[in-house]
Amino acid sequence: MTSKLLSPFKLREVELPNRIVVSPMQMYMAKENGECTDWHLVHLGKFAVGNFGTVFTEVLCVEARGRSTYSDAGIWSDEHIPMLKKIANFIRSNGSVPAVQIGHCGPKSSRQRPYDGLQPLSSKDANKGEPPWEIVSCSAEPAAPGYAAPHALTESEVGEVVLAFGQAARRCNLAGFEVLDVHAAHGYLIHSFLSPISNNRHDLYGGNKTNRMRFALEIAEALRRNWPDEKPILFRLSCIDRFEGGLEIGDTIELSRELKKRGVDAIDCSSGGIKGPNSLFSLAEPPTPGYQVPLAAAIRDGAEMPTMAVGMIMTPAHAEEIISDGSADLIALGREALFNPHWGLHAAKLLNEGQTFDDWPPNMGWWLEVRQRMLSSTDPKDWRIGPAAANAPKRAQP
């Protein structure tokens, strides 16, 4: 039986070689000016070698003030393009589709790195050379307990951010990426406008659902003006807030339909992030493998558009089941990809009949094939490689 997970999938004119995706993951390894480095080339390149059909960068911030930390990657300047082009070219040369995520951290900007505490930057950080900066959001409400109150963007300032997203898309195209994803989840800037919990505005961008969606939809329109028609756009959404009075799945289905009208091709389905430092804060109990898959299934059915499932999907068999039963069209792995950068190659071996190393790059696969024969046969002739193997001298018997 042919694996659905390993089958190609087409979005607009871009064909993804399989349904396995490296999810965008912030790595906190960029230069202070937002430039990526050779570290990112190696980090993302290994996933292309590992048979992930699509490889996303971490979120590239559309403004310097939209960074979460001083080590976040950026796309607010043309100076960021050359290194990103090098990364995209390497991913493509190894058979994967280079993809990029852009975003603005909004009220969750100006923070410590997670392993330093994930708290707002303070005078102590300033003494270490990382002073806090002014943050912006939908409303002047802190994103989490103990966080700083952001500046509420004016209507004209909202328009400037929309333009920044459009210019970011232009730069991503110049860098050679083929798929674009927008981070509109986890309490970041776009999500802060969408959620009735965080949106306390009384103008064109606040109040009723239509106004709360306006910012996201204007961004989608700006992206389509600056991103080629033949290339797809995804939106990462927190499909539910997991708090009373917050976004519910019906709200996100409605938003997805409107995004679709504006040229968005698929929804990257996550959840949570409002009223806490990260997206796991709102969970009442530990997450289980695939805990967000029902969200992808609901959006796929309700909005009639492709979805990408995320959330502790760990085994090829589970990923295959999700694609086969129609719950989602793509599977995005984050932590599991970090744990096993060759996950895609292992999936090919496990799901294809015969379980050989034929799908592995030949410079790796032949080594592993020999090892497999060594483990399964005691006859040395089965281990040898090359035309000289047949004429190899017999070993002396003990």
Exactly one of 70, 115, 147, 188 is catalytic; name it: 188
Residue 172: name the closest of 105, 98, 234 by CA: 98
267 bridge partner residues: 235, 307
HEC letters along the chain: CCCCCCCCEEECCEEECCCEEECCCCCCCCCCCCCCCHHHHHHHHHHHHCCCCEEEEEEEECCHHHCCCCCCCECCCHHHHHHHHHHHHHHHHCCCEEEEEEECCHHHCCECCHHHCCCECCHHHHHCCCCCCCCEECCCCCCCCCCCCCEECCHHHHHHHHHHHHHHHHHHHHCCCCEEEEEECCCCHHHHHHCCCCCCCCCCCCCCHHHHHHHHHHHHHHHHHHCCCCCCEEEEEECCCCCCCCCCHHHHHHHHHHHHHCCCCEEEEECCCCCCCCCCCCCCCCCCCCCCHHHHHHHHHHHCCCEEECCCCCCHHHHHHHHHCCCCCEEEECHHHHHCCCHHHHHHHHHCCCCCCCCCCHHHHHHHHHHHHHHHCCCHHHCCCCHHHHHCCCCCCC
What CA–CA distance (Å, rounded) separates 157 from 163?
Answer: 10
Active site annotation includes 28: no
Residues annotated catalytic, as ranges: 188
